[in-house]
Structure 1
Amino acid sequence: MRGQMLDDVGRLRARGQRRRLTRLLVLGLVVAAWCWGRYLGGAGMLPTLPSVDPFLLTVVIFFVLMLGTTLGSLVIAGRSPHVLYRPEQIDVRIDDVKGLAPVAEDVRRSLELFRSALTFRTKMGGTARRGILFEGSPGTGKTHMAKAMAAEAGVPFLFVSATAFQSMYYGATGRKIRSYFKELRRTARREGGAIAFIEEIDAIGMARSGVSTAMTTTASSTLECGGLTGLAMTSPAATTQVNRMVSGDPGATVNELLVQMQSFDELTTTQRAISRVVDKVNLMLPENRQIPRPRPEPVNVLVIAATNRADALDPALLRPGRFDRKMTFGLPDKAGRRELIDHFLARKSHESELADEEYRDALAGVTQGYSPVQIEHLLDEALVNAVRRGAAGMSWSDVEQARLVTEVGLGQPVGYTDHEIALIATHEAGHAVAAWLLAPQRRLEILTIVKRAGSLGLLAHGDRDDVYTRSKSELGALISIAFGGQVAEELFFGDVSTGPGGDLVYATTVAAQMIGAAGMGGTLISFAAAPGNALGGGDLVSRVMSDGEGRRMMEELLAARKEVTRALLESNRHLVEALRDALLERHELIGGEIDRVLREAGGRYAVDLRDGRNSIIA
């Protein structure tokens, strides 16, 4: 049964080919009979053209051209803006779409249902899906997957960007939408099925009235010196949700889209002409002699739309019967990133060290939060670095340099004074030592005192593995790491600069989340439960700080974490000094270079201290 179901598209295509060949044969016979009739009657094969006055012909041609220009502009303004791809023109298959295993399985099931739509409807009484919405961040593979679906299904693929429907002419947008769906139905009848893909559908499908939505933002994983704020939270505990209102009145455009999404089973032009003739004849016939009217045959179409803002779409688009299936394209996990890295490196020139499993696993770890497009871009940047140094392929060093530029930005060397450069190096070394001792589960990625963007120096660090929740001790350690720069300045200079300003913002935000939302302080009351508030973010911080008891608990938590950091750095001044000196000499340390400096300076004592971290941060 399953094999029989999957042949529906092929059977419909073969039926359409037989119908077209029959029409061509009938037309050929009619033309042949007409020609033989004229030949046997002694007339010429072609009719004689009448003589026409040249002046009159010129006038007629002029007005015909004027009329054609006017009508042509209207026709062109209302033409469908799509681009049609045949299955053989698409070189990607579902197996080529890496890092999206959960979505790929659902896509395969949807394809089976698409190819078996006729059997599913006639023998099982079901209604196949007509619309699928791909939702996800940019670069997560939505368009790539849609093309793979069309190639796997073996049907034409009608690609269009939603912005291409928009027109300066009144009513032209609606005509373009109608033309697109008309061409989709025509192609599906001719080929046995067709897949439509509308990129960025929110450009024409925005809600017609205000709707409440939630926007999620995730903080970065950078601690900076120079007044900028950096957050090392990548888990839901660090997620900020902000309520906002999306307003607008797309009006006729959305209405036209809604109508077309329900108008797949329509009479063809020929069937409508036959229906008009049958209706006139039936007016003269008794009730029991009525001629049956043509009935529309359902067409096998699948409309796929992609958006980054599904929450802003009109709710009527998302109801069953239109886009009744939503697939979320999230950022790949570590296994998915490793799969993507293997896929890309198989096509990109690289040195032998990048063929090592350990290096590839490490690269999958450091690219947490990357989309598939970002991973490919990172490797392309590494290839650019390899070209600059005259190598035939990228090395691990090229990849690390590419990450530095991609994540942090190009360096902007400035002329620091001797005091400033020593202060900045000490500040960043304090962050790194605190992170190395208190949170060995985190990976120290970049340590630099080169000015980049608005930061004079920074420590970038992230989780070694994908983390989706954090414990109280882990959050406390993150606060202590944030205080590392300020404590190091106090220990070595007896003074504090403006550099720790961003660190204090970060530490305050985490403390507010711990006390006001996660129940990790002296209260079980959630400040996030207040009407109109969302978990995390500045609003939660202001609510906790405006409450006297909440502010007191935050002060106590922050003071306790700073003392933990002070005690730790006081007993490990040699580690701070070693890292500071390395920064003053080399200005930037990347990845394993940071760990190597600390291990060489710390000896056995530092390693044992890291192993006993639970007693330190409890």
Structure 2
Amino acid sequence: LMVGPPGTGKTLIAKAIASTLSAPIIITNGSAFLSTFLAIDVLVMLYMRLRAEGLAREFGRVVVFIDEAEMLLQRRGGMQSVQTQGTTRRVDSIWSIFDYDQNGCISPCGLMFDHSSAREAFWERKFPPRQQTAPQMIPFPFFGGAGGFSLAIFPFLVWLDGMDSPPLLSRLLRSKVNELLDVLFVPPYLHLGGATVYLRLPPARPPAHNIYFFAATNRPHLIDPAMRRPGRFGKTVVFTTPGEAEREDIAALYFSKVAHHPSLDDPEKRREFARVTVGLSPAEIEQVIRDAVNYRHDHIQRLKEIRAAVEAGRPLDRDSQKFWERYRHELEQPDWDKPWVTWDALMESLAAVRHGTAKPTRTTERNRERTAYHEFAGHFLPLRYFCGEWYRPIVLSIMPRGEALGMVAHVPIEEHDPQPQHVLEGLLRVSVGSIVAERLFFQDNEPGVSKDLENATRIAAAMVGLFGMVPRRCSAEERRRYLRIGESILSVANTHPLLPSESNGFVSSTLGSPRKREDVCVLLGQAFVDVYRLLRKNRDLAPPVVQELLAKDELVGRDLERLWDTLELQPLLAEDKAVWPEDEVAPENPFYRRVDGSQAQAAGSV
């Protein structure tokens, strides 16, 4: 039984095994054994068995590979874990508490922690398993369905465990010959010199077919335990996403199959590509490289069209003008129109695979600037300071992709390390940072921070209600101020105590306890104040990076690593504890003006 996420090579390994054994392979899908009409799935299984045994007789061996095996080997009726209303799912890690969108982001601003456990949780939310709430009935004699599982599992079990019957012709021939010998009064056996000679044909033996069974699934918990016992699919092989060295080796294979710029053969460039593709499966790495060819072709075609428009004196729209200013220098290169894979094409393809296709026309310049401050000051800087030794960035973008107007994605430096309290507190500050940045730089915040606050509440509730963590030690007066700030940003979305769900049951339970609710608010308040003190002390770092983002839209690869490594943040000191964000907690009313007619506080001033 091969277990692992899609694209990690399960089918490829089965084909490689068949090639190594010089054996034919039968590849089928578990859904092929689900049928609307009664017994059709059994007939499909019997046909596959006849086909496999025929190939085994002809070639001496055969490989049978069943993809999406949970559709065939799923738990039978009465064995499903029926989820009733009000029950919640077990939360076993910090990554299973978030609510992911279709691109794996945990907030509309594109905040993403690209961790292997997060990708598993995201996969379960993107493609949830079908819940069997009640046994399916058979309303008419010709319609299938037997408690929600395939009837083909029964002949398949017999095939795996049982012994074949001898061939009918062989049995009939031996039976008639023995009957004829009985009629002729031929004795059954003779004793000759102490040896016994039998004068009857022995019973026909069942054929021995050399068949190798492989099944692949990414949802092993749905498979019937009876199918995973020794003697059936008792050996489980787990497939995981490749590490950095493996990704570099996989990329070398697919780079050899496409025309690419000579700079991509540089070992340092290959290692950089392996670093930015962390968490991707081999199939996704192949897609990134192959799609880069199309992105490069589109890039060249658009550059030619804009150059022709400029030479003809036709006006350019805003996006075309920006594209021309950004890439016009490529025309000075002798091979600018060569359709090979370049680093820029790879990064665009990678961003599309991870986060969706870019949509540059979805936002205005004013909103792009606000998004840049939101992403850099609100998420990037807090993660650099509070979690820099645990995470590194892979993209910082203000290019709209999917439902996000911008994006900050980070990956763990070491995926297998546990998350102690100070790491979770760092993630909490990364989530809270967006509202702090918007209030610090613009004196108010947009509704887009709602998901960040919901994620922050989830993290704090998990720390208090699940992991037994408490707020850091502080004085009674400081705790009172932290509590007041935390209550102002506590998210109560979808946390009704009488309506628990799979994703927020522990939040409702934690906030239902007055003492634990107070600890959650104190954690949120401490996070808000710490981020405010950090941004207030380092606010001069934001404008240059914001201008670079406005010019480039995205920072990836070497540009992002340069920013990450050279960013000099002034650390928080003991005297910074005297600074409290009173104005940012309750911003001044902008609708009242001074005597001279100016606003009481200029919203949007940086």
* Distance in 1 between residues matched to 2:549 and 2:157, nearest whole Å: 61
- Of 348, 356, 366 in structure 2, the residue corresponding to residue 401 of structure 1 is 348
Q: Deviations over 1:80-99 (max 9, x none)?
A: xxxxxxxxxxxxxxxxxxxx
Please say if 1:367 is aligned against 2:277: yes
**CA displacement, residues 466-516 of structure 1 (integer Å, 9 cap, x when unaligned):** 444223222222221222221111212222221211211222222223223
> Retained in 2: the 8 A contact 1:225–1:428?
no
1:440 aligns with 2:388: yes
The 1:192–1:379 alpha-carbon spacing in structure 2 relative to 1, beyond 3 Å, is same
Report the number of matched residues. Answer: 467
**Where do 1:105-124 residues align within 5 Å?**
none
Aligned to 2:158: 259
2:598 corresponds in structure 1 to none
Taking the TM superposition and a 5 Å limit, the aligned residue runs for 1:277-426 are: 277=176, 280=179, 291-388=201-298, 389=300, 390-414=337-361, 416=363, 419-426=366-373
Q: Aligned partners of 2:118 and 2:355: how far apart in 1?
A: 24
3-state DSSP of counterpart to 1:204? helix
Q: Residues 137 and 330 of structure 1 are in contact (CA less than 8 Å); yes or no, is this contact kept in structure 2?
A: yes
Listed one character per residue, the Cα deviations across residues 303-356 of structure 1 (whole Å, up to 9, x for unaligned) are: 112223332223332233222222222222233222212222232222222222
> Within the alignment, does 1:138 sit opposite 2:9 as a pair?
no
User: CA contact under 8 A between 1:207 and 1:312: conserved in structure 2?
Assistant: yes
Gaps of 5+ in 1: 1-132, 524-533
Q: Which shows bigger deviation, 274-283 or 248-257? A: 274-283
Aligned to 2:465: 516
CA drift of 1:262 comes to: 2.4
CA drift at 1:569? 0.7
Cα distance change of structure 1 residues 445 and 237 upon mapping to structure 2, 3 Å threshold: closer
Question: What's the counterpart of residue 404 of structure 2?
Answer: 455
Distance 1:246 1:287, change over 3 A: farther
**Letter in structure 1 aligned against 2:529:** E
What corresponds to 2:496 in structure 1?
A: none
Shift of 1:552: 1.5
How far did residue 230 of structure 1 move?
A: 4.2
Q: Distance in 2 between matches of 1:469 and 1:337?
A: 24
Q: Label 1:305 to 1:585 Cα distance change in 2 as closer, same or farther (>3 A).
A: closer
Which runs of structure 2 are paired with 1:186-201 in the superposition (5 Å)?
A: 186-201=54-69
Q: Distance in 1 between matches of 2:447 and 2:226?
A: 52
Deviation per CA, 1:554-588: give whole Å up to 9, x if none: 11112112211111111111111222222334433
| Cα distance in 1 for residues equivalent to 2:430 and 2:169 | 74
Q: What amino acid is the match of 1:396?
A: W
Deviation of the 1:238 alpha carbon: 10
Verify the 8 A CA contact 2:8 2:281 in the aligned structure 1. Answer: yes
Q: Is contact 1:225-1:455 (8 Å) kept?
A: no
Task: Kindly indicate whether the alpha-carbon contact (under 8 Å) linking 1:223 and 1:459 is maintained by their aligned counterparts in 2.
Answer: no
Counterpart among 60, 81, 95 of residue 212 in structure 1: 81
Aligned equivalent of 1:549, options 493, 511, 515:
515
What CA distance in whole angstroms lies between the structure 1 residues aligned with 2:120 and 2:65? 32
Residues 212/275 of structure 1: CA separation in 2 closer, same or farther (3 Å cut): farther
Q: 1:235 to 1:383 in 2, by over 3 A?
A: closer
Matched letter for residue 258 of structure 1:
L
Equivalents in 2 of 1:457, 1:146: separation in Å? 41
Distance 1:301 1:485 in 2: 58
Structure-1 separation of matches of 2:179 and 2:35: 40
Q: How does 1:39-188 map to 2 (within 5 A)?
A: 133-165=1-33, 170-188=38-56
- Report the secondary structure of 2:419's partner residue: coil
Which amino acid is 2:61 matched to? G
- Post-superposition offset of 1:225: 10
Residues 1:140 and 1:455: Cα distance change in structure 2 (over 3 Å): same
Q: CA deviation at 1:146?
A: 0.6
Partners of 2:424 and 2:459 within 8 A in 1: yes
Secondary structure at 1:158 match in 2: strand
What TM-score do the two structures reach when normalised by structure 1? 0.67
% identical aligned pairs: 26
**Aligned CA distance change for structure 1 residues 607 and 357 (closer, same or farther; 3 Å):** farther
- Does the C-alpha gap of structure 1 residues 480 and 278 become closer, same or farther in structure 2, counting only changes over 3 Å? farther
* SS of equivalent to 2:73: coil
Q: Secondary structure at the match of 1:325?
A: coil
- Contact between 1:334 and 1:365, CA under 8 Å: does it hold in 2? yes
- 1:223 and 1:230 in contact (8 A); partners too: no
Query: 1:147: Cα distance to partner?
Result: 0.8
Query: Whole-Å Cα distance in 1 between the matches of residues 468 and 39 of structure 2?
Result: 56
Instruction: Say which SS state the counterpart of residue 267 (structure 1) adopts.
Output: coil
Local SS of the residue matching 2:236: strand
Q: Deviations over 1:389-443 (max 9, x none)?
A: 3334222222111122222222333475665343322212212222233333432
Contact 1:232 1:462 in 2 (8 A): yes
Q: How far, CA to CA, are the matches of 2:470 and 2:15 in structure 1?
A: 51
With over 3 angstroms needed to count, the CA separation of the structure-2 counterparts of 1:357 and 1:550, relative to structure 1, is farther
2:536 to 570, 580, 587: 570
Distance between the aligned counterparts of 2:465 and 2:239, measured in 1?
31
Residue by residue, what CA displacement relative to the aligned partner does 1:332-388 show, whole Å, maximum 9, x if unpaired? 223322221222223222222222222222222222221111110011122222233
Structure number with higher helix proportion: 1
Equivalences for residues 499-510 of structure 1 within 5 A: 499-510=448-459
How far did 1:159 drift?
2.5
Task: Tell me which moved more, 232-241 or 333-342.
Answer: 232-241
> 1-side partners of 2:43 and 2:545: how far apart?
66
Equivalent AA in structure 2 for residue 261 of structure 1: L
Cα distance in 2 for partners of 1:418, 1:312 equals 49
Which position in structure 1 is the counterpart of 2:581? Answer: none
> 1:419, 1:577 → 2: CA distance?
14
Q: Distance in 2 between matches of 1:192 and 1:224?
A: 50
Deviation at 1:193, TM superposition (A): 1.9
1:250 aligns with 2:149: yes
Return the alpha-carbon distance in structure 1 between the equivalents of residues 558 and 549 of structure 2: 14
CA distance in 1, matches of 2:224, 2:253: 38
Residues 252 and 235 (structure 1), Cα distance of their counterparts in 2 relative to 1, 3 Å cut: closer
The answer for the alignment partner of 2:170 in structure 1 is 271
What CA distance in whole angstroms lies between the structure 1 residues aligned with 2:219 and 2:534?
A: 46
Contact 2:109 2:375 in 1 (8 A): no
RMSD of aligned C-alpha atoms? 3.7
Distance, in Å, in 2 between the alignment partners of 1:364 and 1:300 is: 41
The DSSP-based 3-state class of the residue aligned with 1:445 is strand
Change (3 A) 1:199 1:271: farther
In the TM superposition, residue 607 of structure 1 has moved relative to its aligned partner by: 6.1
